[in-house]
């Protein structure tokens, strides 16, 4: 399941375990040279060295992306085993070891088909990033903040429909507009099922986001995008996330969706412990410029920017490896913050207690990078 771009920093030993030497990032941002032994999908030994060897690769926990529509020419809504394997392999090349396949606003029948096929896929052994569940983005959103979502498929939140989706057992996150009728009823159902409830594609004011917490909302999807802006007399979702320490949020850190100065301000005001980096990647990821389908709409990809015909942003071609580097290159965070925002925070939010850190007993999901931030090797489950 490992995906190697170049170099062989990880090797098999006589004990059939994988051995890696490199520098891990400590909580204070300093580097520590370690020898890590991986066996049976786990980190079973970590030896530390007194001297840091700068020539060794950087070792970070595998990236966890909670918002992936597609990649490599495939999309979640294709609802085929082949599509999901293509998406998983594509993102693994860029450091993602775990992901949530993410839907778009579509019909009940289409979303149901995706859930059943994704559930089947998750029972199979496959290469690439581990699909750990599905993120339902829509259809319970606000039409005024639809972004690139299809207007004709947006509906009011419906408990019966949502219950059927949740009963599949693989929905890990749902993005809704909390101000829509019956959104709080669906949120309570989701919370009871252990599903993350996020506000997104919404016209909610700050007070709406505050009240939504009472019914289970705890997160905001792609902060700053497809929501009310931060104003001096009305904070909206952005202002409430800054204020409320119990809310988390995710960001598309590609320099297109959110200006680097705004990202810097958000990291400073919210803190790296409550922010996660996502890709919002579409099927065009790793494919180059051209025209692509997204939920029945044509997206033009040019120079890293994805737009509908009217200029609306339509996802991204960002990878988690790029996000890890970009959030540092903007001068926003040091290595430890970038590590938290690409892995540890998502693991904690999803309740993945054996992912997101390089510690004994944790899953052997690792990324090895050069000093320039290029991916050398992705290790998934010790392979």
Catalytic annotation, residues? 280
Which tokens belong to 267? 């990291």
Residue identified by tokens 């497809």 is 226
The conformation of residue 93, written as its DSSP 8-state character, comes to T
Query: Which DSSP string corresponds to 168-184?
Result: TS-EEEEEE-TTSTTHH
Could you tell me which of 56, 59, 34, 57 has the C-alpha nearest to residue 47? Answer: 34
Distance CA 208, CA 312 (A): 26
Q: Tell me if 232 is assigned to a ligand binding site.
A: no
Token output for 132: 């750990």
- Residue 315 annotated as part of some ligand binding site: yes
Left, alpha or beta for 122 (phi > 0: left; psi -120 to 50: alpha)?
alpha
Q: Is 301 helix (H, G, I), strand (E, B) or coil?
A: strand
On whether 82 is known to bind a ligand per the annotation, the reply is: no
The answer to whether 137 is annotated as binding is: yes
148 marked among binding-site residues: yes
Q: Is 231 annotated as a binding residue?
A: no
User: Annotation-wise, does 201 bind a ligand?
Assistant: yes
Do the Cβ atoms of 115 and 140 come closer than 8 Å? no
Residue 345 assigned ligand-binding role: no
Cα(339)–Cα(18) distance, integer angstroms = 22
Are 111 and 105 a contacting pair, CB within 8 Å? no
* Local structure of residue 363 (DSSP, 8 states): B
27 is in an annotated binding site: no
Residue 39: strand, helix, or coil: strand
Please check if 340 is assigned to a binding site.
no
Q: 47 and 21 in contact (C-beta within 8 Å)?
A: no
Q: Determine if residue 313 is labeled as part of a ligand binding site.
A: yes
Cβ count near 309 (within 10 Å): 10
Q: Return binding residues for Zn(2+).
A: 137, 201, 222
Q: Return binding residues for substrate.
A: 148, 225-226, 233, 257, 313-315
């Amino acid at each position: 399941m490992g995906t190697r771009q170049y170099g062989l920093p990880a090797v098999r030993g006589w004990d059939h375990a994988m051995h890696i030497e490199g520098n891990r990032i400590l909580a204070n941002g300093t580097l520590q040279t370690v020898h890590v032994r991986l066996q049976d999908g786990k980190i079973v030994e970590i030896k530390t060295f007194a001297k840091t060897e700068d020539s060794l690769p950087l070792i970070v926990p595998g990236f966890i992306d909670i918002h992936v529509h597609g990649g490599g020419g495939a999309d979640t809504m294709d609802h085929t085993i082949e599509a999901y394997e293509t998406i998983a392999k594509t993102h693994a090349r860029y450091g993602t070891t775990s992901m949530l396949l993410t839907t778009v606003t579509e019909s009940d029948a289409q979303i149901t088909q995706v859930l059943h096929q994704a559930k089947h896929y998750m029972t199979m052994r496959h290469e690439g990033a581990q699909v750990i569940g599905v993120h339902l983005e829509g259809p319970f959103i606000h039409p005024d903040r639809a972004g690139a979502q299809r207007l004709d498929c947006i509906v009011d939140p419906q408990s019966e429909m949502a219950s059927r989706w949740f009963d599949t057992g693989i929905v890990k996150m749902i993005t809704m507009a909390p101000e829509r009728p019956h959104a709080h009823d669906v949120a309570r159902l989701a919370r009871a099922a252990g599903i993350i409830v996020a506000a997104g594609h919404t016209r909610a004011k700050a007070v709406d986001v505050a009240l939504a917490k009472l019914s289970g909302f705890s997160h905001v999807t792609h902060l700053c995008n497809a929501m009310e802006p931060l104003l001096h007399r009305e904070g909206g979702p952005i202002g409430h996330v800054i204020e409320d320490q119990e809310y988390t949020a995710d960001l598309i850190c590609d320099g297109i969706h959110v200006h680097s100065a705004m990202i810097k301000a958000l990291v400073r005001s919210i803190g790296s412990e409550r922010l996660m980096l996502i890709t919002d990647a579409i099927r065009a990821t790793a494919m180059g410029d051209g025209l692509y389908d997204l939920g029945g709409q044509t997206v033009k990809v040019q120079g890293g920017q994805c737009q509908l015909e009217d200029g609306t942003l339509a996802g991204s071609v960002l990878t988690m490896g790029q996000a890890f580097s970009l959030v540092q290159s903007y001068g926003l965070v040091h290595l430890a913050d970038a590590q938290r925002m690409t892995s540890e925070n998502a693991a904690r939010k999803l309740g993945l207690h054996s992912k997101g850190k390089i510690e004994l007993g944790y899953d052997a999901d690792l990324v090895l990078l050069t000093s320039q931030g290029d991916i050398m090797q992705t290790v998934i489950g010790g392979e």
